[in-house]
Amino acid sequence: MLKLRNVTKKFGELTAVNNLSFEVSQGQVFGIAGPNGAGKSTLYNLISGLYSFEGSILFNNKDISGLQPHKIAKLGISRTFQIPQTFPSLTIEKSIGVGNYFGSRDGFEPSYVDRIIDFVNLTDKRKKLTGQLNLLDKKMLMIGAALATKPAILMLDEPMAGSNAKEIKSLMELIKRINQDMGITIIIIEHFMKVLTELTERLLIIETGTEICCGDPVEVTSDPRVIECYLGDSHD
């Protein structure tokens, strides 16, 4: 469904993504992990069309390299950000409506917006301004706005960051429902190995932009090269 071929991104002297090739199949939950600065978020920025790069990215066999971000979104690739981005002066329903209005190929559909608000468990708070929300609700809102674009692929950037155990559980349940009930393919960048091994079917580990290994998440997380580069002393 999504295929990266020899993708490289340099910022001046720094190679943030180094000759990466991998494939995500339809319906999969695909994980990406690696130390801070490994190039994970940059990879999302390349897939969503924010920067030019070397190599190519194919979505359903169509080369999307060089397409503008709004065109890539309309084709069905949506993403969230590491730090929740909301419109503080808009209500939840308006914010999710913005995603639907600007991102969906089918145009604005209020009933679809209602369905998404419900799906992310924000119906009771739909009239609240997003600036007043706690971190978990902001995350739910950001995921809801991304879902409102009717994506085929949803890319989540460290969705669990800063969350407590209960919030992690809610987010994991939501991600499973997005994948299983809505049939949306998911790419997830995450640090929590437990989350990755429970949610993902395939896991890619990168360090300084380069692939360390890719495969079954349980095997990958017990690979000595991964323990060395990524888990380090915290593996216990």
Interface residue list for Mg ion (CB under 5 A)? 40-41
- Would you say 99 and 73 are in contact if contact means Cβ atoms under 8 Å apart? no
11 binds, among Mg ion, ligand ADP, none (CB under 5 to 8 A by kind): ligand ADP
Q: Please pick, from the candidates 1, 7, 16, 196, the single residue that binds ligand ADP as defined by CB under 6 A.
A: 16
Q: Is 183 in the site for ligand ADP (CB under 6 A)?
A: no
Q: Which of 159, 191, 197 is nearest to 175 (CA)?
A: 159
Torsion-angle region of 157 (φ positive above 0: left; ψ -120 to 50: alpha; else: beta):
beta
Q: Is 14 helix (H, G, I), strand (E, B) or coil?
A: strand
108 binds, among Mg ion, ligand ADP, none (CB under 5 to 8 A by kind): none
Q: Please pick, from the candidates 41, 48, 100, 104, the single residue that binds ligand ADP as defined by CB under 6 A.
A: 41
Complex with ligand ADP: residue 42 or 130, whichever CB lies closer:
42
Q: Is 137 helix (H, G, I), strand (E, B) or coil?
A: helix
Neighbours of 35 (CB within 10 A): 15
- b/e map 189-213, b = 16+ CB within 10 Å: bbbbbebbbebbebbbbbbbbbebe
Q: Is 42 helix (H, G, I), strand (E, B) or coil?
A: helix
Tokens 């990406």 locate to 32
Complex with ligand ADP: residue 209 or 217, whichever CB lies closer:
209
Stretch that binds ligand ADP, among 29-37, 85-93, 163-171, 210-218 (CB under 6 A): 29-37
Q: Please pick, from the candidates 13, 36, 62, 166, the single residue that binds ligand ADP as defined by CB under 6 A.
A: 36
Q: Is 81 in the site for ligand ADP (CB under 6 A)?
A: no
16 binds, among Mg ion, ligand ADP, none (CB under 5 to 8 A by kind): ligand ADP
What residues line the site for ligand ADP (CB under 6 A)?
11, 14, 16, 34, 36-42
